[in-house]
Structure 1
Amino acid sequence: MKKVQRYLALLLAALMVISFTGGCGNKQDVKTDAPESSALFKPGTYTGEGEGIHGNIQVEVTVDENKITAVKIIKHDETPGVSDAAIKKIPEDIVKYQSIAIDTVAGATVSSNGIIAAVTQALQKSGADITKLQKKPDKDDVASGEAIEKEADVVIIGGGGAGLSAAVSAHQNGAKKILVLEKMPKVGGNTIISGAAYNAVDPKRQKAQGIEDSVEKHYTQTYEGGDKLGKPELVRTLVENAYPGIEWLESMGMKFQDEVFTVLGALWPRSHKPVDPLGTGYIKTYMEYIEKNSGSIEIMLDTKATEIIMENGRAVGVKATGIDGEVVARANNGVIIATGGFGANVEMRDKYNKIWPSLTNIKTTNHPGATGDGYIMAEKVGANLIGMEQIQLLPMGDPETGSLSGNIEQGVENRIFVNKDGNRFVDEGARRDVMTKALFEQRDAYMWVILDKHSYPTGDTKNNFNETIDELVNKGRAYKADTLEELAKEISVNPENLVKAVEEFNKNVETKSADEFGRTLYKDKIDTAPFYAGARVPTVHHTMGGIEINTNGQVLDKSGNIIPGLYAAGETTGGIHGANRLGGNALVDTVVFGRIAGKNAATIK
């Protein structure tokens, strides 16, 4: 089994140029003729380029006559944390298997393909027969020998936001040995690709902006926003521990921006935005702590948990399958399930969906590993599942991928939605389910987000997903014009309707009064060129139902009794958000209940 230390640095933004970079900067391609007939390559060092998420990835490939000896990434602009696993693993696998037909890294497909394309280009310069290098490598079968035995005070299933929060918390509360089992090739889960908004009543930041708020208001909006289907004691625990969660993260070095905003569906301006892009700040913070305490906290990647081990009615460990065979991890104190939701599992979505039209062909914002493994394991040991039909959709999916990337909105107050006719159709500050249901009623379930220079003062201003507006426009994922009429032509909507929609919105910005849709959240008018538009469609985002827990994070059985030694945290749990999760409450969930589960798994005997 590869040591975890090889993976820990993957998610640190400070190490974006990892060991592949070296001092190779501006080497010129070696000028060569075709290789000798008996050789596979003309020995030398060659460079190549391939397209990544945020521009070209440049590689340097070294070959001798018969093999690829090294692949180095010499330049890239990929998002820290999200693409790091691909940047490390793809070059390693190409050298290991002597093939360019290697598997891409789940969750970093574009970066993976960009690296492969760059290596292919470099190898072409060496005179290689590319068709020979496109043969799928024969990989070793999973070892069938004796199981790998592990022992820890706390065993955690899942290395996303909740799982890593729990790992740090368990260590801070006295656990001497913590083991995290993560089935994906990288940690981060949905947290690392999220918009990263974190709701908390924050007297200092909100007061500076003239925002009145209270924990009680956050509680009421969360509880009533979920149609009062959340368990009041869990909702109370969430909101009361939200700001202490920020203080905890900041104590470990995480930084948030000074101003709060209103993320989509948050209902109030209390959303905090990290300084680091997407959700990388959370994962980076946890991983820096874990790296400093690597002797106590171990992470096993590519290790899929399959079963919770029970003895005398108590959870005492986990069985898993890793790249080197079966793993049996014994837990002295407790087991924590933090496997996320099932948004990426179409079969499970169809099984539990009772609210939406068929979700079979609806894409998702989730990472590929969000397949509901935790629910299956928990239910097999008697855990109660609640609210499984409560599946949250967003009106903010990319039309091609369903992901949140490419979304041009910066906050609720400064943009409107229009349909293909150029007309508004909903309160853009409403609940997520309200907005999505309204979008389904529009032609082709398709809308445009409209905003202006107030949201993007310069072309290099980034959205919440680390993409500049110029980058999005250049790739055809957003549209830009100097007038609304020109913008309407760009996106093929009725110019008169679009102009009227914006004019009516601007009138309400002046009066701050509720409009015909009931909207009350405003800040700036949409009146300053350039104007921008971005297309969006419905997408599966969050599963509110899951494993029932109490305020200690302990898993409950179907009779409401505690299952000793078993805890759960994050999206895999149910009973917190009810029928609708407020935007910005998911990261709070991972932090608050991850901390609670970690602490109690370390201390409750």
Structure 2
Amino acid sequence: MKQLLNSKRVLSFMLCMILIISVVGCQSKTSETSEDAMFKAGTYTATALGHNGDIKVEVTVDEMEIKDIKILEHNESPGIADPAIDRIPKAIIDGQTLAVDAISGATITSDAIILAVTEAIKLAGGDIKALSEKKAGENTARETVEYTTDVVVIGGGGAGLAAAVSAHQNGAEVILLEKMPRLGGNTILSGGALNAVDPVRQTKQGIEDSVDKHFTQTYEGGDKVGNTDLIRTFVENAYPAVEWLESLGMKFNDEVFTVLGGLWPRAHKPSTPLGTGFIDTYEAYINANEGVEILLDAEVTELLMSDGRVVGVKANGLNGEIIVHANNGVVIATGGFGANVEMRDQYNKNWPALTQIKTTNHPGATGDGIAMADAVGANLIDLEHIQLLPMGDPKTGSLSGNIEQGVENRIFVNKDGNRFVDEGARRDVMTKALLEQQDAFMWVVLDSHSYPSGDVKNNFNESIDELIAQGRAFKGDTLEELANEIGVDANNLINAVEEFNKTVEKGGTDAFGRTLFADKIDSPPYYAGARVPTVHHTMGGIEINTSAQVLDVNGKIIPGLYAAGEVTGGIHGSNRLGGNALADIAVFGRIAGESAAAKK
């Protein structure tokens, strides 16, 4: 029995030793790196600063290859950053290289992903220099592809998508071409405010308004430069456009508000962040209905003519030339030229040089449609009227990070802590006043009336706590504390707020001529966010009539050619009211689609 026990102990000992050796052997084999290995196999994480904060990636490698890349965390704008998030990791894996091209329109996000992956590869012991060398491109055969449809739409922003949906609803088949790798244009970057005289919402809020008042403010707000027929069509069709969008499934908040430079509380705010609600609504319709085709990465370069009529377009695609023939007509909805510095300077007559001023616009807003229309004899008007906002992010020029929730509850102060302008004035008035301040820099100051809790978000889907954590907004439990945080004179800031509060209490007009007020700034905590001038909108462009038909230099209709949105001129005059752009693109996008479908 004792011998049997000893035998069992020996056997158990030997089995344990075999198991230990096996485990150690496996571990050694896993941790060993062969001499020709490119990486130390494993999973690594790293971060890099993107457009709206850190982007965190997870990179998995074996000894010879990058196997997987995941974006774990990011705060980039939906729609704008999506192509970079989708394409950059795939391009790195497919090519086994860090030398991949940034995605047009999402360059900062692209670069951040590449940098984060690079840092992770460093942790894996990869040869960064070798992986960063540009590989010779494959000789991909380029070919010409031709399509035929009823209506061609150039541009996949709010105006182009409205035109595409409207044309389809009026019986036409549609092909939309967008030069960027995504839909959205400037619309998806916007705060989402849409002006319309609303008999339901405004009545509930006790707001007196009328279509005539909207007409007058739009016309006079543009220094009476705008075409009165276009303005009348615009204001009369703004609320029907809201109803049309709602019929497509879009949701707006129950209350209207006054947007920066809007002059009156008639701005409708979508229930979804930014301008994504507009784009999502149009996309949902297109996805649910046959007959609308979207071609991305398709840069239209030329309008095709036959016997004086526009009959199609020519474009450059990723794999070759694209030609689309249009049975009925072509709608130009390519946006303005706010992102084209040379073009801005060519036409600018009202501002100091704009070469160093950043823009809120997406990179595709380069005036392509204006140039194409000009080439076929279209008349161009109001190109000298370029709108600047006082609301640009100091680093990027974008609208993101703007802490204001509406006009009535905040003030602007300069670096001395003093107010300097009517904060409810026209956008050009406010921007010109800001340009006269030290470093053309200001702080937006407000209180907990706008942010009752730290998780409340601004109009760009950013919470105030997030902005504070990123150093883009500042907080103080007293005005003295806030002044210290932002580096302004505390006495000046306190005086500015006190004088503002006195006018709120007594009513009327303050020393700067301001008449739009709601609550006092008296409920801590107090908040401040930095802002600078930025190029926002180009009021000039292609001349159209009330049917969105393009006119030539002699005032005649160019058959088969239509235009809508910021690519056009004549509606906003010398200054666009805040909230009028999204109404404009919905109204005239809808009209352009209907006219093109009817071959009007």
- Same-fold call, TM > 0.5? yes
Q: Does 1:303 align with 2:298?
A: yes
- Please show how residues 72-471 of structure 1 align to structure 2 within 5 Å: 72-140=70-138, 143-145=141-143, 147-175=144-172, 177-293=173-289, 295-471=290-466
Amino acid in the other structure paired with 1:314: R
**Bigger Rg, structure 1 or 2:** 2
CA distance in 1: counterparts of 2:441 and 2:135, whole angstroms: 42
Q: Distance in 1 between the 2:275 and 2:510 partners?
A: 34
Deviation at 1:445, TM superposition (A): 1.3
Look up the equivalent residue of 1:328 and give its one-letter code: I
Tell me, what secondary structure is at the counterpart of 1:299? Answer: strand
In structure 1, how many angstroms separate the alpha carbons of the residues matched to 2:29 and 2:99? Answer: 26
Report the counterpart of residue 5 of structure 1 in structure 2. none
What does the per-residue CA deviation read over 1:124-144, in whole Å, with 9 as the maximum and x for residues that have no partner?
344322222222344447754
State the alpha-carbon separation in 1 of the partners of residues 206 and 376 from structure 2: 50
Whether contact under 8 Å (2:53, 2:470) holds in the other structure is: no
* 1:552-563 → structure 2 map (5 Å cutoff): 552-563=547-558
Alpha-carbon shift at residue 326 of structure 1 (Å): 1.1
Query: Relative to structure 2, which stretch is displaced further, 452-461 or 88-97?
Result: 88-97
Deviations 1:463-499 (A, max 9, x none): 1111111111112111111111221222222211111
Please list, as runs of the form range in 1=range in 2, the aligned pairs for 1:56-75 lying within 5 A after superposition.
Answer: 56-75=54-73
Equivalent pair of 2:192/2:270 in contact (CA under 8 Å): yes
Tell me, what secondary structure is at the counterpart of 2:201?
A: helix
Question: How do 1:473-488 and structure 2 match up within 5 A?
Answer: 473-488=468-483
Alpha carbons of structure 1 residues 506 and 143: separation in structure 2 relative to 1, 3 Å = farther
Per mean C-alpha deviation after superposition, the further-off stretch among 444-453 and 123-132 is 123-132
- Closer, same or farther: CA 438–141 of 1 in aligned 2, 3 Å: farther
Could you tell me which amino acid in structure 1 is paired with residue 275 of structure 2? G
- State the identity %: 68
| SS of residue matched to 1:327 | strand
* Aligned-residue offset at 1:43: 4.7
Q: Which residue of 1 aligns with 2:16?
A: none
CA distance 1:31–1:70, change in 2 (3 Å): farther
Distance 2:239 2:142 in 1: 48
1:28-47 aligned at under 5 Å gives the runs 33=31, 35-47=33-45
Q: SS where residue 358 of structure 1 aligns?
A: coil
SS at match of 1:241: helix
Over residues 144-181 of structure 1, what are the superposed CA-to-partner deviations in whole Å (9 max), with x where a residue is unaligned?
44x21111111111111111111111111100x21111
User: Contact 1:32/1:126 (CA < 8 Å) preserved in 2?
Assistant: no
Quick one: distance in 1 between partners of 2:479 and 2:139? 59
Answer whether contact 1:34 1:127 (CA < 8 A) is retained: no
Cα root mean square deviation, aligned: 1.9
Secondary structure of the residue aligned to 2:200 is helix
Residue identity in the other structure for 1:264: L
Report if aligned partners of 1:484, 1:495 keep a CA contact under 8 Å in 2: yes
C-alpha spacing 1:488/1:426, structure 2 compared with 1 (3 Å): same
- Residue aligned with 1:203, SS: coil
SS at 2:408's partner residue? Answer: helix
The verdict on how the C-alpha distance between 1:31 and 1:438 changes in structure 2, with shifts beyond 3 A counting, is farther
Distance 2:417 2:53 in 1: 32
Farther-moved stretch of structure 1 (327-336 vs 440-449): 440-449
TM-score when normalising by structure 1: 0.91
Matched, 1:510 2:505: yes
Report the count of equivalent residues: 573
After TM superposition, give the deviation of residue 345 of structure 1 in Å: 0.5
Structure 2 distance, partners of 1:31, 1:189, is 52
In structure 2, C-alpha distance between the alignment counterparts of 1:113 and 1:466, rounded to whole Å: 23
Cα deviation, residue 32, structure 1: 6.2
Unpaired segments ≥5 residues, structure 1: 1-29
Q: Distance in 2 between matches of 1:391 and 1:56?
A: 34
Aligned-pair distance for 1:53?
4.7
Q: What do the CA deviations read for 1:359-397 (whole angstroms, capped 9, x no partner)?
A: 111111111111000111000000000000000000111
TM-score of the aligned structures, taking structure 2 as reference length: 0.92
Q: Which ranges of structure 2 fall in alignment gaps of 5 or more residues?
A: 1-27
Q: Distance in 2 between matches of 1:202 and 1:90?
A: 44
